[in-house]
Amino acid sequence: MAEIIEPRTLRGFRDSLPETESRKLEIQQELTRVFRSFGLVPIDTPAMEYAEILLGKGGGETDKQVYRFLDHGQRHVALRFDLTVPFARFMAAHYHELPLPFKRYHMGKVWRGENTQRGRYREFIQIDFDIVGVDSSSADFEIMTIMAESMVSLKIRAFHVHFSHRQLFNELLENMGLAGVYLPVLQAIDKLKKIGAREVEAQLVEISGKQRAREILGFITTEATNRETLNKLCSALPKGSQAVARLESILQCIEPCELDSVLLLDPSITRGLDYYTGVVFETFLDRVPDIGSVCSGGRYNDLASLYTKEKLPGVGASIGLDRLVSALEDLGVSSSAKTAPDILVVFLDEPLLGVYHKLSKSLRENGLSAEIYPSEKKLKAQLKYAEKRGIPLAIFHGENEKGRNEYNLRDLRTRQNYEALSFEGLLDKASELLK
Amino acid sequence: MAEIIEPRTLRGFRDSLPETESRKLEIQQELTRVFRSFGLVPIDTPAMEYAEILLGKGGGETDKQVYRFLDHGQRHVALRFDLTVPFARFMAAHYHELPLPFKRYHMGKVWRGENTQRGRYREFIQIDFDIVGVDSSSADFEIMTIMAESMVSLKIRAFHVHFSHRQLFNELLENMGLAGVYLPVLQAIDKLKKIGAREVEAQLVEISGKQRAREILGFITTEATNRETLNKLCSALPKGSQAVARLESILQCIEPCELDSVLLLDPSITRGLDYYTGVVFETFLDRVPDIGSVCSGGRYNDLASLYTKEKLPGVGASIGLDRLVSALEDLGVSSSAKTAPDILVVFLDEPLLGVYHKLSKSLRENGLSAEIYPSEKKLKAQLKYAEKRGIPLAIFHGENEKGRNEYNLRDLRTRQNYEALSFEGLLDKASELLK
């Protein structure tokens, strides 16, 4: 006999069992509905690309994590490690055949050979959405609205989309004569939500002295309302600040849409990536702050400069599906994804197999999902299977019932029986019980 | 300035643009609905696995096409080239925690470094569905029903699921004293739909002589009805044939479900793979026979023998999504997948940006999809964009209309205008026009 190969998966890679997979699909479906309601369209790109395309300038931390190899034609290829780089390449290749501005969403797997000790996975699903080809506050605000409506659609009640503008700090530090320490100041502030205000203050004091540190901390605090925060920024910055003007325009959209309590102007948001040039945003769940942002993004002024001379400004955000799934679990948000059909047709008499299949077909035609236990096993085994699957209803239809054209229905949750039903009666009772 | 990297994809890999991607997602959604109505549940497995798991015994033609490489930990890894092998590994790893019989579907990308000159792609989406843990005619028939209902759900009218049983030929050739030429006979018959009966007959004559060749060809011909075909098989085979008994039991399901005209007992179906041990099936579209089978499968008696001693018999089928998409195109089956929202809110006056966003929000809350043109461009440019996107309706709401609380609606398809509508009137008219 051949040796058995142990059926293991690679570290950092996971099987998705029916319950988890149903949940993931349910979330993707909900988000799709939201994206579509805003006129976003779906795209996909290959999982594998030329390494030079995906790595671009290269040299970053991500690079070491990228899965790269030689393919059958000795080409240097790599697996995508995010959906942003492939999207940039996609836009460079297709912008001339697409309507601009182009609004797309993209859901797909990405791979990173990360250190799994930090609870990270090496295969995960990203969900990205962007509006490309326009630099406007309307597009900025629309992306934020999509972020907020995405959270609402997933029944997350307590969340905030924190937003700011990357240029605020350039302008502020220049105004304070601190342009030289821009990077260390930003790095300190970026840690605010992780290490707290006191620790950040200590770091800022070291960089810029006590007085400046106080001023910077005062600047990045959120006030009671977005308007008050904006007024504070206004007074700290030189007149004609483009960052303030853009934020002002965004507030003028937030207010009539009554999103004040959800979209929060928060000058402490900086986002680490050089990539962003305008508004930036992060989404925090009030009741599970520790997991960090579940949906982040911002405005970039040139998406695809590596691949085309065409200027493609845009704004977008990204959701990590796997992190979101565990956040929803932590929040106790229940899923309405079902993994069981409505009805099990019990296999009582072998000669009635055709009758069972016809019955199952009629149930499906009437909008119910149904399966037939696929072999003539003891009733106990069949009902145990139904219980394990979580199937709520069972139909019993043996030779006797067939003779009388009758069906017996059992609610497996309450063990209540409903006997001698006509087919119409069966449909009515089943629909009633499933409500 | 940095050098531009050409934004190309690898040969055999394609971007999926919004129209194609919407179509693929629509098909996946339709099939999901069908699968769920039969109680099937979704799973997923990693794209990358240990090479020894995916290649197993190895040595086949597929092996050379598999993308394999060393990962960061110097492990031999590979990308999945189908969904069957990962499913076998999955079942070996999880059967003890799953309800058996286990009914699953799985949609996902697979990769093969195939010769692209034959119009093949190196990345494609497979859709598999199986019932595992039971060997019964009910499960065999259910998979065939799912195949048929899948085709119907995609609005394919003229199709046939051809089915047979792998053991028929073993029994027939043994009965004819031709067991020694089993393989060449099967290989000749397998080509029937490609090269025609005359050519197959010539090959069979060479293998077994004229008389035997005639008998074999007579055996594999379909008769006027499934019942007549079965009767012919019965008379050619020894009494007590298990293959005939299984087919008989399947016919007893086909008849009451009135699927006689769709599920066709066709003894010429053999399926090349050693893997299959029982019923086998292929699906042909009457009007595009050249593309071959769009959904094939069969019964296997031991899914996961490489990874576990647990016997896991099953039956399943597989759809190649990309081939199906082009088949539907060839058939001229129109898609109802939309890539455009219902309404464009025209950007007329910058100070009204907040009002436009509130309007768009109200439209969405009333079940309409809407987007705002994201910057204040000339009307002509905005309407050109709407046309390019295929957006059917546009709303005009400037300072004047705002003062009167009115909306102007234009049907961009007919260029008909509907003016001075209240918000309620706008909703009614838009819904009416979109019907």
* Per-residue pLDDT, A85: 95
The three state secondary structure string of B268-284 is CCCCCCCCCCCEEEEEE
Q: Which residue of A has its CA nearest to B10?
A: A49
Bigger pLDDT: B239 vs B107:
B107
B269, B391: one domain: no
Q: What is the pTM of this model?
A: 0.94
Edge-to-edge strands, sheet with A343-345? A370-372, A343-345, A393-396, A407-411, A416-421
Same domain, A143 and A178: no
In a domain, A299, yes or no: yes
Q: Are residues A39 and A136 in the same domain?
A: yes
**B298 and B398 inside one domain:** no
The whole-number pLDDT of residue B175 equals 87
Domain boundary at A288, A304, A338, which? A338
Residues of chain A contacting B385 with CB distance shorter than 8 Å:
99-101
- pLDDT per residue over A117-147, tens digit each? 766 899 999 999 999 999 999 999 999 999 9
Residue of chain B with shortest Cα separation from A17: B43
* Residue A211 resides in a domain: yes
Residue B61 pLDDT exceeds 80: no
Residue B1 inside a domain? The answer is no
| Mean of all residue pLDDT scores within chain B | 93
- Provide the residue range defining the domain that includes B46: 18-331
Number of domains in chain B: 2
Check whether the bond before B101 is cis (ω within 30° of 0).
Answer: yes
Residue A40 pLDDT grade (very low, low, confident, very high; cuts 50, 70, 90): very high
Chain A: nearest CA to B272, how far in angstroms?
A: 23
Percent of chain B with pLDDT over 70: 97
Q: Which of A188-192, B88-92, B146-150, B381-385 has the lowest mean pLDDT?
A: A188-192
Q: Which of B64, B137, B140, B353 to mutate: most A Cβ within 10 Å?
A: B353
Tell me which chain B residue has its CA closest to the CA of residue A110.
Answer: B47
* CATH code of the domain covering residue A119: 3.30.930.10
The DSSP bridge pattern shows strands B41-42 and B102-111 to be parallel
The beta-carbon neighbor of A353 closest among B18, B100, B253 is B253
Tokens 């069992």 belong to which residue?
A17
Across the interface, whether the CB atoms of B369 and A131 are under 8 A apart is answered: no
- Give the lowest-confidence range in A155-169, A170-184, B147-161: A170-184
A310 contacts on B by Cβ (under 8 Å): none
What Rg value do the Cα atoms of chain A yield, rounded? 28
Distance between B329 CA and the closest CA of chain A, angstroms: 19
Closest to A241 measured CA to CA, from A251, A253, A252, A231: A231
Q: What is the pLDDT of residues A71-91, one digit of tens each?
A: 999 999 999 999 999 999 999
Residues facing A49 on adjacent strands: A78
Cα gap B219→B267, rounded to integer Å: 7
Residues B311 and B384 in one domain: no
* Domain shared by B313 and B400, yes or no: no
Cβ contacts (< 8 Å) between B6 and chain A: which residues?
A: 307
- Joined tokens for residue A51: 């390494």
A32 and A109 belong to one structural domain: yes
- Closest-approach residue (CA) in chain A for B390: A99
Q: B21 contacts in A (CB within 8 Å)?
A: 41-44
Q: Examine the pLDDT at A60 and tell me if it is beyond 70.
A: no
DSSP labels, A11-69: TT---B-HHHHHHHHHHHHHHHHHHHHTT-EE-B--SEEEHHHHHTT--SHHHHHS-EE
Of B331, B353, B378, the last residue of a domain is B331
Q: Is the peptide bond before A101 cis (omega within 30 degrees of 0)?
A: yes
**What gap in Å lies between CA B435 and CA B428, rounded to an integer?**
11
How far does the CA of residue B114 sit from the closest CA of chain A (Å)? 9
Chain B residues in contact with A38 (beta carbon < 8 A): 341, 364, 369-371
Alpha-carbon span B38 to B20, nearest angstrom: 28
* Closest-CA residue of chain A to B391: A39
pLDDT at A314: 96
Domain shared by A90 and A217, yes or no: no
Q: Calculate the alpha carbon distances from A91 to A45, A105, A309, A409, B375 in Å.
A: 11, 13, 12, 57, 20
Confidence (pLDDT) at A196: 85
Last residue of a domain, one of A305, A338, A371: A338
Task: Give the lowest-confidence range in A176-185, A228-237, B121-130.
Answer: A176-185
Q: Is the pLDDT of residue B58 over 70?
A: no
Please, what sign has the CA dihedral across residues A62, A64, A70, A74?
Answer: positive
Q: Is the pLDDT of residue B1 over 60?
A: no
pLDDT class for B273, splitting at 50, 70, 90?
low
pLDDT average, residue stretch B326-335: 89
Contact (CB, 8 A) for A335 and A361: no
Q: Check CB contact under 8 Å for B139 and A17.
A: no
Tokens of B92: 């070996």
Position A1 pLDDT exceeds 60? no
For residue B314, what is the nearest residue in chain A, using CA coordinates? Answer: A374
The answer to whether the Cβ–Cβ distance between B38 and A89 falls below 8 Å is: no
Tokens 């790269």 — which residue?
A: A68
pLDDT, averaged across chain A: 93
> Same structural domain for residues A20 and A105?
yes
Lay out the sheet containing B343-345: strands in order across: B370-372, B343-345, B393-396, B407-411, B416-421
Do the Cβ atoms of A101 and B374 come within 8 Å? Answer: yes
Q: Provide the number of CB pairs (under 8 Å) joining chain A to chain B.
A: 313
A3 in any annotated domain: no
Distance CA A43, CA B403 (A): 41
Q: pLDDT value at position A289? A: 85
Contacts of B345 (CB under 8 A, 6+ apart): B356, B359, B360, B363, B370, B371, B372, B373, B394, B395, B397
Q: Are residues B319 and B351 in the same domain?
A: no
B369 Cα to chain A: minimum distance (Å) = 4
Is residue A139 a part of any domain in this protein? yes
Shared domain for A321 and A356, answered yes or no, is: no
pLDDT in tens, A260-288: 999 999 999 988 767 899 999 999 999 99
CA-derived radius of gyration, chain B: 28
- In this prediction, residue A116 carries a pLDDT of 77
- Please tell me what DSSP assigns to residue A2: P
The CA dihedral of B27, B32, B34, B38, to the nearest 10 degrees, is 160
Look at residues A330, A355, A332, A359 and name the one whose alpha carbon lies nearest to residue A343: A359
Q: Which residue of A has its CA nearest to B259?
A: A358
* Residue A6 maps to a domain: no
Q: Cβ contact (<8 Å) for A46 and B14?
A: yes
For residue range B83-102, list pLDDT tens digits in order.
999 999 999 999 999 999 99
Query: Is residue B74 domain-resident?
Result: yes
Over residues B132-148, the pLDDT tens digits come to 999 999 999 999 999 99
Residue A394 C-alpha, separation from nearest chain B C-alpha, in angstroms? 13
Contacts of B249 in chain A (CB under 8 A): 353
- Could you tell me if B166 and B311 lie in one domain? yes
Q: How many CB atoms lie within 10 A of CB A157?
A: 11
| B15-52: pLDDT as tens digits | 999 999 999 999 999 999 999 999 999 999 999 999 99
